[in-house]
Amino acid sequence: MDTLINVGVARIEVATNPAILRTILGSCVGVCVYDRMKKIGGLAHILLPNWVKDGVKEKYADTAIPMLINQLLKMGCSREFMSAKIAGGASMFRFQANLALGQIGERNVEAVRKALAAKNIPIVVEDVGGSVGRVLDFHLEDGRMKVKAAGQEKMYYKV
Amino acid sequence: MQISVKERLESIINNLDQLPSIPEVVGKVINMVNDPNVDFRMVAQEISRDQAITTNLLKLCNSAYFSKGKEITTLDRAIVTLGIKEVKDAVMVVATKAVLNRAILGYDLARGMLWEHDLAVAVMSKNIAMMKKDRAIADLVFTGGIIHDVGKTVLALFVQSAFKEILAKVESSGVSFQQAEREVMGYDHQEVGERILAKWKFPQVLKDIVRYHHEPDNAPEEQRKIVSYVHVANSVCLMAGVGIGSDGLYHELSEKAIKRIGITDEELNQLYSDIPDVLRQVKGLS
């Protein structure tokens, strides 16, 4: 059995094959970055889009993603072999349109796309939006991402 | 012909023996503490009748969450140091763990997920009440937070077999998941929870928290505010993925509830942003 590593809210974990990184998502976004040559990957659980003064940097897309990439580079990964898969960013089914927190899922997805583009990491898979909760399993054996949502499992192999 | 889901569920919730149990002392303690003229010694005496509860309770009173620094070794000391309401909250945590800390299959919650969610909602509801200087009911929303989803423990098996139908109802009629539960199975997890609390002889206010946590605006007027604390905390925890299951975010976040407890947009964002701190507080409960 591969080691299962649970990645908590606003946490970043990096590991080498064999291991599975798991996180559970509502409006948060799980960012899986994989180096297909080294079989090393990292998962960031993003709570919010943009860093605010005195904030814990692991919480925000624009600060957590550079941290994640740096950790991977330190482990010997190369940016040219990295790709990203993202999941999450759901919204409450019903809320008043003027409620800022209601949009947080979409804003998280936007900020994640932007932060990955800034680091030149291509996004090869997105499983985002809607009102589902998602359990994300990131397998470092081959970089595949399994998403369980609303009682159904989907497997994404692209790296 | 096969007996319908509705009929099977009906027979279970009308049969007290089939609903989960907790130690008898808990209902007594909750009702005693709910009485403004409560005698502390009577409460201590009542708790001490249950040795297992007493042992675990003293342990919990010394946890990072409840401890005030000095070690607590007796029930009398616990009540004097922490206060009767805090001790009642600790009794709740100790007594409901066996019912709530398990896998909830139909909702796709692995063992421990519902328990972590319930504790997070309890802690956050109390934090909001304290923030809004509504101290008198802070312990009540904590207790309500712990048990708000207790109905899921019974409804889960039925949800498992009716899941596709429930989700189809959500998608075709645009109703929330819990409303679809009611339409497909006859009862939702709030109503089943209310039945369980009736069995446990819990006071009306806690039954109302459980019954209306997804629809606070329909709660009886005198309890609407209390229910709203738990509603907001529950919504924010689910959005952050804490205890989110197969029902996902197919729920409603009531703006009226947010306004009712006087939370600004900024404060609501802050509650969501502070989720990691709440989870740390939850860890301090063990």
B44-80: pLDDT as tens digits: 999 999 999 999 999 999 999 999 999 999 999 999 9
Residues of A with CB under 8 A from a CB of B: 8-10, 23-28, 45, 47-48, 55-56, 59, 88, 90-96, 98-102, 104-105, 130-133, 135, 148-151
Tell me what ipTM this predicted complex has: 0.96
Q: Is the pLDDT of residue B1 over 50?
A: no
Distance CA B29, CA A147 (A): 44
What's the one-letter identity of residue A106? Answer: E
Smallest Cβ–Cβ distance between A101 and the set B167, B242, B272 belongs to B272
User: Which residues on B lie below 8 Å from A148 (Cβ)?
Assistant: 108
User: How many Å lie between the alpha carbon of A27 and the closest alpha carbon of chain B?
Assistant: 5
| Residue listed under structure tokens 């139908």 | B165
Measured between its terminal Cα atoms, the distance across chain A in Å is 22
User: How many Å lie between the alpha carbon of A116 and the closest alpha carbon of chain B?
Assistant: 22
B55-64: pLDDT as tens digits: 999 999 999 9
Smallest Cβ–Cβ distance between B249 and the set A47, A91, A135 belongs to A91
Length reported for chain B: 286
User: Which residues on B lie below 8 Å from A102 (Cβ)?
Assistant: 253
Q: Strand A29-35 and strand A40-46: pairing?
A: antiparallel
The reply to whether B250 touches chain A by the CB within 8 Å rule is yes
Smallest Cβ–Cβ distance between A26 and the set B249, B269, B279 belongs to B249
- CA distances, B52 to each of A116, B59, B121, B251, B283 (Å): 53, 11, 26, 38, 22
Question: Options 3.40.50.150, 3.40.50.300, 3.30.1330.200, 3.20.20.70; which CATH number does A3-156 get?
Answer: 3.30.1330.200
Inter-chain touch B241–A26, beta carbons under 8 Å: yes
Higher-scoring residue by pLDDT: B1, A35: A35
Smallest Cβ–Cβ distance between A90 and the set B246, B248, B269 belongs to B248
Of the pLDDT bands very low, low, confident and very high (cuts 50, 70, 90), residue B2 is: low
Inter-chain touch A133–B244, beta carbons under 8 Å: yes
- CA distances, B218 to each of B110, B190, B214, B227 (Å): 31, 13, 9, 10
Describe chain B by its helix, strand, coil percentages, rounded to 5.
Answer: 70, 0, 30
Domain boundaries, chain A: 3-156
CB B87 within 8 A of CB B63: no
Domain boundaries, chain B: 5-12+101-283
Q: Strand A82-88 and strand A123-128: pairing?
A: parallel
Whether A77 sits among the annotated catalytic residues: the reply is no
User: How many Å lie between the alpha carbon of B282 and the closest alpha carbon of chain A?
Assistant: 13
In degrees and rounded to multiples of 5, residue A5 shows phi and psi of -110, 120
Record the pTM: 0.97
Distance CA B229, CA B46 (A): 30
Just give the CATH number of B5-12+101-283.
1.10.3210.10
Helix (H, G, I), strand (E, B), or coil: what is residue B81? Answer: helix
Q: Is the pLDDT of residue B19 over 80?
A: yes
Residue A153, token pair as written in the block: 């499992």
Per-residue confidence (pLDDT) for residue B36, from 0 to 100: 86
Positive or negative, the CA dihedral B116, B117, B118, B120 is: positive
Positive or negative, the CA dihedral A115, A117, A122, A124 is: positive
B140-173: pLDDT as tens digits: 999 999 999 999 999 999 999 999 999 999 999 9
Residue A5 DSSP class: E
- The DSSP H or E segment spanning A14 is strand A12-16
CA B256 from chain centre, in angstroms, equals 21
Q: Which residues of chain A have pLDDT under 50?
A: none
Mean pLDDT of B233-239: 98
User: Which residues on B lie below 8 Å from A127 (Cβ)?
Assistant: none
Describe chain A by its helix, strand, coil percentages, rounded to 5.
Answer: 25, 40, 35
Closest by CA position to B208, among listed B56, B198, B199: B198
